Amino acid sequence: MHNPWVAALIALFFWWFSTGILLWRVRHADNSGAHHHLFSVLYALPLLFTGIIGIHITADDMSVTGAYGAFLSALAIWAWIELAFLSGVITGPNRAPCPAWTPMAQRFVRAVGTIAWHEIALLIGLGALFLTTRGDENIFGFWTYAVLFFARISAKLNLFFGVPKINTEFIPRPLEHLPSHFRHASMNALFPISITALTFAGSCWLERVVSADTPGREVGFALLAALTLLALLEHWFMVLPLPDQKLWRWMMPDLKVSGVDGKSRRSAR
């Protein structure tokens, strides 16, 4: 556990597993009925509370255990907010599809309206973690959340301005209006900036891994480096013809068709 390569593999596993379990849960809720989405969010509240408590417990713990604890606590807080979004509980005031002819400025306003409450919740989480960990020895929880926050903002903006590959296979029913605000394009001006920023951030974390003076700091920065490089990989998935959906597709139950026949089919592959 003291090895930074092991830390990187752990970050990779939790990136894959946490994404998969969220997608699996919302798919089950899709098949069970709209009220099950709300149940998912309520039943997962202990995850949020565990994350908050974990941030406080690890505040001054700069050991290897403290680094892992802060990292996982931030992931727990982030996962609950993401579940609330995917379940349609915390989204935005606009829940209508965007007409194809909508001008860019109006489409942006409509797109912001689809995710406004979610973005505010994420921003509140970022501010709360900053204030909570300010002055503490262990701030890996804050930086974990910050990497996720800014990488997610970048990804959403790139989807809005246009990318070649948009995977909508796992979009849950409460968010079926969301892809209408995305745009297919060969490239957009923001994408190179996003790639450069994430590459630079990942390089900075790797430099901190090399220069770390304690095992706890080495592991903490290795976790941040791995998470940032995974965010970079997710951005490349938007432009490269790679079947990234296969990483989680095998976990997903068949999506039931809405209608009187009640038959099941697989979602579009």
In order along its 269 residues, the chain shows pLDDT tens digits of: 778 889 999 999 999 999 989 999 999 888 888 789 999 999 999 999 999 999 999 999 999 999 999 999 999 999 999 999 999 999 999 999 999 888 999 999 999 999 999 999 999 999 999 999 998 899 999 999 999 999 999 999 999 999 999 888 889 999 999 999 999 999 899 999 999 999 999 999 999 999 998 999 999 999 999 999 999 999 999 998 888 788 888 778 877 765 433 443 343 33
Which tokens is 265 given? 């089919």
User: How would you classify the pairing of strands 264-265 and 255-256?
Assistant: antiparallel
Q: Is 5 exposed, middle or buried (0-12, 13-18, 19+ CB in 10 A)?
A: exposed
**Long-range contacts, stretch 48-54, CB < 8 angstroms, 24+ apart:** 48/76, 48/77, 48/80, 48/81, 50/76, 51/75, 51/76, 51/77, 51/78, 51/80, 52/77, 54/141
Question: C-alpha angle 246/238/180, rounded to 5°?
Answer: 95
Please report where in the chains the tokens 């957009």 appear, as a residue.
188
